[in-house]
Amino acid sequence: MREEPEKAVKKRRFMITDIILIMFVLAIILPVAVMLVWTVTERWAWPDLWPQVFSLRALDGIFQRSEVLTKLFASSIIISSAVALLSVAIGTMTARALVLYEFPGKGLVYFLTVLPFMVPATVFAMGVQITFIKLGLNNTVAGVVIAHLICSLPYGVRLLMDGTAAVGARLEEQARVLGASAGQAFFRVTLPILIPVILSAFCMSYIVSFSQYFLTLLIGGGQVKTFTIVMVPYLQSGDRNIACAYSVIFLCITLAVFAIFEKIADRWSRNTDTAFYT
Amino acid sequence: MQRKLTPYILLVPQIVLTIFFLIGLITGITQSLGVIPAFGLREPTLFYYKEILTKPDMVNSVLYSLRIALFSALFSTAAGVLLCALLVNGCRTKGKMMRIVQLPIIVPHVVVALFAINICSQNGLLARLAYAFGLIGEQQQFPALIYDAGGFGIILAYLWKEIPFIIYFVIALMANIDGKLGEAAVNLGAGKVQTFLRVTLPLCASTISSGFLIIFVFALGAYELPFILGATTPKALPVQAYIQYTHPDLRNRPYAMALNGLIIVISLVCAGLYFILMTRSQKKLAGKK
């Protein structure tokens, strides 16, 4: 007798949890679904809940000017991939210094490393533009890469610090005892174990770079065209089909880039037992 | 000797980039004090700060941005932690659910602005649903959620992006604590809710607070969403700053920098707090082991 109401309460609580989670998932997916519908919509007038006329005009329009798309595609992906690769490389070095070594000024270096987390890119961009102009980096791809790198590096360092701390120095020391050089010990022992963390750091840095609008606008001066720079005018003019089509294309490309790098990372660490990573 | 030098050698590229970053910050701060020798401005002054804190349109920008940042950070942290707890409790911390949680993280803010227009505008899906259910008779009756003076659409857009961020930021730690210490607490007779409130939540507190700070500072200083979704007046801090920055009269530059300076002061306070929180949580978690 006493068990039944308790069970009912438990069941109801599960129901509420489920409803909340389902609503959360729907809230995430709905805008994405609407965007997908808009890419193939010709006319979707008030007040219908479903478009009246479908067409591939927006996608056709984009693919017909394939020269523009290829250029945009190349510059966007090259910039973000370069930023992500540099962020991972520098992040690994910084993480090693901060985790495995003791040295004076360590606290300060760590603070300065994570500071760009906390100071918005807009403020940094307006302050640093004059320096970039003086160095001839303004309006150049290299300038945009450096600026993006400064903003994405903290993410890379944070993730890689956790990874480096988890791997620790013991395995490398053992390799050294067995006669490996410092370089061998790092590249053959630690690096393969770090691959999963490196992959997350790569993706995170790529996303941070890929999402930058203001920084790209200011440092790139409108000369360096990335996805966000091309998108915003369409948003302002209210050309939703084109804006949606561009977004879909570029989100797919981002996912493809991640998949490719996951493959590469997989192949790289295939022969290593990653169970050490605990 | 060599070993002593190693960390510094490893840090060289990091330090070069940090110097770039600091140059940006310091240039901003000196210009906000009205020192731009190239324009013939040499005397440091707090005049521009006084101006931005008294001129009505600038004060409105400051208040508008602070409100957006506070509400976005507060609601996304609260909702994120709650959802995180539900996910941990239901053992859904991996697999498909996490893929869905990660989706908003990879979507750029510019695309989130597009979502807000598609869903929340007076021509958007919500307005159409309201019409279909007979809640409104015509388009104009639907409340202006975007391009509105309250910044409601901007906050909604931030929530879509940042609630998953909080979940992603907290879930690994929460699952870990819940699995180890939570079980112990339950064995000792604590209820699920009690365990969460008195064991799991306090141990996650520093991580949750740093997530809150990251979102707060980001929403305070980000340009994209208020630029695309914001009202004509009041303008958000970064939007206002950029207008002053690109003003044809170069003597307006210090206003831009003073607005930025305000963001810097607030972010440095947050950065200090973040640093303290991170160090503390690292110590706490290390002590736990």
CATH of the domain at A104: 1.10.3720.10
* Domain shared by A141 and A34, yes or no: no
Show which of A28, A54, A80 is a domain's final residue: A54
Substitution target from B110, B112, B119, B245 for chain A, most A beta carbons within 10 A? B110
State the alpha helices, DSSP H only, in B33-95: 47-52, 56-89
Q: What are the chain B neighbours of A112 within 8 Å (beta carbons)?
A: 18, 21-22
Give the total number of structural domains in chain B. Answer: 1
* Domain shared by A46 and A74, yes or no: no
CA distance B17 to B12: 9
Q: What are the chain B neighbours of A214 within 8 Å (beta carbons)?
A: 222-224, 238, 242
**Which residue type sits at B252?**
N
Q: What is the pLDDT of residue A6?
A: 57
Domain ranges, residue A112: 65-276
Residue B45 domain-assigned (yes or no):
no
Which of A30, A124, A207 is closest, CB to CB, to B105?
A207
* Domain shared by A39 and A70, yes or no: no
Q: Which two tokens stand for residue A141?
A: 């791809």
Residue B13 domain-assigned (yes or no):
no
Show which of A29, A54, A79 is a domain's final residue: A54
> In which element (H, E) is residue A43 found?
strand A41-43
The overall pTM is greater than 0.90? no
Q: Do the beta carbons of residue B148 and residue B231 sit within 8 Å?
A: yes
Taking the Cβ of residue B197 and every Cβ of chain A, the question of whether any pair is shorter than 8 Å is answered with no
The secondary structure of chain B in percent helix, strand, coil, rounded to multiples of 5, reads 80, 0, 20
Cβ <8 Å between A207 and B106:
yes
* Domain shared by A117 and A45, yes or no: no
Q: What are the chain A neighbours of B119 within 8 Å (beta carbons)?
A: 30-31, 34
Q: Which residue has the tokens 């005009």?
A: A57
Rg of the Cα trace of chain A?
A: 24
* Domain shared by A157 and A240, yes or no: yes
Residue A178 domain-assigned (yes or no):
yes
Q: Give helix A141-167 / helix A191-211 axis angle, nearest 10°.
A: 140
Q: Which residue has the tokens 């003076």?
A: B149
Which of B11, B108, B217 is closest, CB to CB, to A94?
B11
Residue B42 domain-assigned (yes or no):
no
pLDDT > 90? residue B156: yes
Q: What is the pLDDT of residue A8?
A: 60
* Domain shared by A96 and A229, yes or no: yes
CA distance B249 to B230: 25
Angle at alpha carbon of residue A231, lines to A228 and A237, rounded to 5°? 145
CATH of the domain at B280: 1.10.3720.10
Cβ <8 Å between A123 and B28:
yes
Substitution target from A40, A110, A118 for chain B, most B beta carbons within 10 A? A118
**Which residue type sits at B28?**
G
Give the total number of structural domains in chain A. Answer: 2
pLDDT > 70? residue A264: yes
Q: Which residue has the tokens 């991939």?
A: A81
Which residues, 6 or more positions from A131, have their beta carbon under 8 angstroms from its beta carbon? B20, B23, B24, B27
Which of A114, A120, A232 is closest, CB to CB, to B238?
A120
pLDDT > 80? residue B17: yes
Cβ <8 Å between A27 and B11:
no
Domain ranges, residue B177: 55-288
pLDDT tens digits, one per residue of A181-192: 888 888 888 888
Mean pLDDT of B10-28: 94
pLDDT tens digits, one per residue of A21-50: 999 999 999 999 999 998 888 888 888 888
* Domain shared by A236 and A180, yes or no: yes
Which residues in chain B (238-257) have CB-CB distances under 8 A to chain A?
238, 241-242, 245, 256-257
Helix/strand/coil (H/E/C) assignment for every residue in A67-135 = HHHHHHHHHHHHHHHHHHHHHHHHHHHHHHHHHHCCCCCHHHHHHHHHHHHHCCHHHHHHHHHHHHHHC
* Domain shared by A187 and A115, yes or no: yes
* Domain shared by A107 and A188, yes or no: yes
Q: What is the pLDDT of residue A12?
A: 63
CA distance B104 to B100: 8
Classify burial at A144, counting beta carbons within 10 Å of its beta carbon; exposed 0-12, middle 13-18, buried 19 or more.
buried
| Higher pLDDT, residue B226 or A269 | B226
Q: Do the beta carbons of residue B15 and residue A97 sit within 8 Å?
A: no
Q: What is the pLDDT of residue B163?
A: 96
Which of A118, A125, A240 is closest, CB to CB, to B271?
A118
Residue A139 domain-assigned (yes or no):
yes
Q: What are the chain B neighbours of A240 within 8 Å (beta carbons)?
A: 114, 117-118
In the Cβ-directed half-sphere of A181, how many Cα atoms lie within 13 Å?
3
**Which residue type sits at B253?**
R
